[in-house]
Structure 1
């Protein structure tokens, strides 16, 4: 949650610099990126790829990723898969499946495009945790949450 809050505290110019990148590794060429991630353990190589993934997703658009606290009676918050399925914009299941099959960095580029298109409202700590690991298991969970939360088609 702290990274999300730090992202919100950046001024518009700094956010715009970070949004201009087209791939996660391009973030490493922008000084404000290091100012943003330095207090989150960037100096530890184990943290670098997860931080790249998280910041790259945060840069999807002006308000592309919005955090919503979970309700008191909820065990889990809104997952990214559920948020994509419930967005006002229609996300095609094939696009989510394509994300599942993509490799680095194309997977992050695809995810960022989905986030920019859908502008999901989700529970940031769960999404950040998913991005920390970002293994086939997390990708399958995204697809599962998306399909289960999607409205059923009439012919199925």
Structure 2
């Protein structure tokens, strides 16, 4: 399988939900993405993407997703959960693996219901542009809830 093709994100989510409680608990207890190499459940979820380091980010954060809800982006979910800007900027300004560790901490703090394929795609292609999109979604949602205009051309 080509390393250029992303995995089937919904299949990965479904396979995770079908894991027994023990393997799920092992994945939840990890402190850093690199610890996945020592967990058998990680290898069961790779789906032919062995050697693809991007899968670590996906599988490391997967246990934090409580429920798949279409259309809810990561930034929007974090804003709904009232995560502070300060915590969000800690993720944005950090480099791997600290950015993913910080993000996972945020995800664990709240009962997150979000669009898993959107989150998975952001994690799979994680970088400055996806961090920026998360930040923009966060502030756009906050501004829309407070009645502030996010359009600089609006009257």
The TM-score bracket by the shorter chain reads: 0.7 to 0.9
**Length-normalised TM-score, structure 2:** 0.82
Which stretch of structure 1 is more off in the superposition, 115-124 or 134-143? 115-124
| Gapped regions of structure 1 (runs ≥ 5) | 70-76
Provide the aligned length of Structure 1 versus Structure 2. 137
Find the partner of 1:83 among 71, 74, 77.
77
Q: Output the TM-score relative to the length of structure 1.
A: 0.81
Separation in structure 1 between the aligned mates of residue 136 and residue 66 of structure 2, nearest angstrom: 20
Q: Deviations over 1:87-128 (max 9, x none)?
A: 2xx310111111000001100111001101122211111111
The alpha carbon displacement at 1:78 in A equals 1.0
Q: Aligned match of 2:114 in 114, 122, 136?
A: 122
Matched, 1:103 2:86: no
Contiguous gaps of at least 5 residues in structure 2: 1-9, 149-155
Q: CA RMSD in A?
A: 1.7
Runs of 4+ in 1 over 2 A off after TM superposition: 151-154
Distance change (3 Å), C-alpha of 1:65 and 1:49: farther
